Amino acid sequence: MNLPLTSASGRWPQHVEEIRSLLARVACSDGSSQNLEIDAAFTRWRELAEECRTARRAIYLIGNGASASMASHFAADLAKNARLHTEVFSDLSLVTAIANDMGYENVFSEPLSRRAAAGDLLVAISSSGRSPNVLRAVQVARKLKLAVVTLSGMDEQNPLRAAGDLNFFVPAKTYGLAETCHFSILHHWMDLVAASAD
């Protein structure tokens, strides 16, 4: 998929306005593809995290590239600021062993299938919503009865957008804009969960 990496305007005020406009148009749907009011969706996501904390369950965060960086960043913030048990599958030896022996499409689903339990939470991040390894992990999470929250962008018909219990979609057409908005969405959620940890 050869989508542009950055905004075409090249001017800072227009870039800022584009991000503002995209964040104002973030949509969230449930597992039945019913649209949800955005604050209600964030409240439910916060509740899922709080349920994990109370039951001493795990939150798994996955993604590729910049989305992998976000997964690691927010796993650390949630552990430090919200007293949650979090996991990411970014250990280089683990990733390369699974990719080499089982295929890159299994780098998240394989460890998830061995570690996750019913009641855990999976946060799946993919700008395109079409990453095979992310989609496969969501399938495993569903079989194991995890709650699933997805973040996607680009094409509103991407398969990840309909795969979770909560599905946050950014109508961005570039990776940079999708990633910037996903970071803001994740930070808002993390701040809500951290505020309830006191």
What is the C-alpha separation between 158 and 175, in angstroms, rounded? 14
Sign of CA dihedral 88, 93, 97, 103: positive
Burial class (CB in 10 A: 0-12, 13-18, 19+), 54: exposed
What is the C-alpha separation between 81 and 98, in angstroms, rounded? 31
Q: How big, in percent rounded to 5, are the helix, strand and coil portions of the chain?
A: 55, 15, 30
Query: Would you say residue 8 has pLDDT above 60?
Result: no
What is the C-alpha separation between 89 and 107, in angstroms, rounded? 8
Pairing of strands 27-30, 35-36: antiparallel
Domains of the chain, CATH where assigned: 23-195 (3.40.50.10490)
Q: What pLDDT score was predicted for residue 197?
A: 84
Position 21, amino acid = S
Nearest to 159 by CA among 185, 183, 138, 182: 138
Q: What pLDDT score was predicted for residue 2?
A: 52
Query: Would you say residue 66 has pLDDT above 60?
Result: yes
- pTM here? 0.94
Share of the chain above pLDDT 70, in %: 95
Q: Confidence class of residue 65 from pLDDT cuts 50, 70 and 90?
A: very high
Average pLDDT over residues 190-198: 91
Token pair of 2 as six digits: 């050869």
Average pLDDT over residues 128-146: 98
**What is the DSSP annotation of 117-155?**
-TT-EEEEE-SSS--HHHHHHHHHHHHTT-EEEEEE-S-
Q: What pLDDT score was predicted for residue 106?
A: 98
Query: Would you say residue 4 has pLDDT above 60?
Result: no
Query: Would you say residue 186 has pLDDT above 80?
Result: yes
Q: What pLDDT score was predicted for residue 9?
A: 61
What is the C-alpha separation between 181 and 186, in angstroms, rounded? 9
